[in-house]
A = this chain, B = another copy of it.
Amino acid sequence: MQRTEISTYGEFGLIKHLTEKFKIENNSTLKGVGDDAAVLSYENRKVLVTTDLLLEGIHFDLVYVPLMHLGYKAAIVNFSDIYAMNGEPKQITVSIGVSKRFSVEDLDQFYAGIEMACKKYGVDLIGGDTSASLTGLAISITCIGEGEEGKIVYRNGARENDLICVTGDLGSAYMGLQLLEREKMVFSGNEEAQPDFEEKDYILQRQLKPEARKDIVELLREKGVLPTSMMDISDGLSSELMHICSQSNVGCRVYEDKIPINYQAVVMAEELNMNIVTAALNGGEDYELLFTASMVDYEKILTMEGVAIVGHITKPAHGLQLVGREGEEIELRAQGWNSLNE
């Protein structure tokens, strides 16, 4: 494969090379890449802003993450935050710091992933920064989106008796990561070993190429359901429930047997002798939505494909309770589950 050193372009030449393929699609983007700042128009809409910093060795491992997937995922995780406000992502800025290890072709792959995500979700690339780095790859993305007055959903609106809902399934992205880590270890011990990914395509895809739940936000609008609170599940259901309960000043009751889990994730957990419920509660990186909705919307939510009701909101004094399969109650605590990550 061809290798073009980044130094063959100047900073401005490189930015031009990387961004010239991107098309501006949104009316709210008046001016994108190429000036001191981008110019946007949000006259009848609220502006939503979210940002993420991703560092090599902390957030991703290029041994098993292809750069195109990394670009795609880096964009998606930001779109997901905008959907979690019941908004629509419209623009992103992408900044990267790259060491000499990376070639122009590597960056082309990364930006191809960004472009794919932008196209699929209707988002414009409007700026960024390109820099050298002493070690590895640093990525910083800021996403700007639009929200409608009165329709923006925060974390602090959950009320007693509200339904607690999650989309898709939980824990698969984490089990995909465990699989990749295992195969990396096998591979490092034996150069001839071939990774064993049979019947594990779903959990791998959940880890390497997640999607943001644009479809669910649209479905909620279509069905006329405005959640009382919402956030995306990036750090695990337990952690997100704690945010919603503490910001809304409520408690919750969640039923273990209602938590949606994919079959491949169950099999992987068994292989690795891990507890799949723990993974589903704390695994992170699922980028599903957690939302609460009024009991009034119960019938509507039942008809929504891809949405599971997993519990309900209680008085704050009841705390955060997980009800096990045998009816036993376990208090959800941050520290109780932290061991997973240690």
Contact = CB atoms under 8 A, between A and B. Distances in A.
A137 B178 CA distance: 28
B136 A36 contact: no
A58 B98 CA distance: 11
A185 interface: no
B91 A127 contact: no
Interface stretch (A102-110, A144-152, A186-194, A303-311): A144-152
Given A95-B140, A138-B97, A39 B46 contact: yes
A44 B129 CA distance: 28
Given A35-B231, A134-B135, A95 B53 contact: yes
Contacts of A147: 39
Nearest to A133: B55
Contact of A39 (B40, B48, B231): B48
A108 to B, nearest CB: 19
Interface stretch (A78-86, A202-210, A214-222, A260-268): A78-86
B47 A145 contact: no
Of A35, A42, A57, A140, chain B has the most CB atoms within 10 Å of the CB of: A35
A126 interface: yes
A144 B85 contact: no
Given A36-B82, A154-B31, A53 B134 contact: no
- Chain A facing B: main interface SS: strand
A49 B82 CA distance: 17
Contacts of A50: 36-38, 127
Interface string A220-237: 000000000011100000
A323 interface: no
A38 B31 CA distance: 22
A265 B304 CA distance: 68
Given A42-B42, A48-B39, A154-B31, A131 B95 contact: no
B142 A51 contact: yes
Given A36-B84, A59-B131, A47 B53 contact: no
B142 A93 contact: yes
Contacts of A126: 49
A42 B47 contact: yes
B37 A82 contact: yes
Contacts of A154: 31, 35
Most buried by B among A10, A38, A49, A52: A49
A132 B154 CA distance: 27
Interface string A33-73: 01111111111101111111111111100000000000000
Identify the 5 closest CB pairs spanning chains A and B, nearest first: A140-B140, A37-B50, A40-B47, A53-B95, A36-B84
Interface of A: 10, 12, 30-31, 34-44, 46-59, 81-82, 84-85, 87, 91, 93, 95-97, 126-129, 131-136, 138, 140, 142-145, 147, 152, 154-155, 230-232, 243, 247, 334
6 contacts: A10-B334, A36-B85, A37-B48, A39-B152, A55-B97, A134-B135
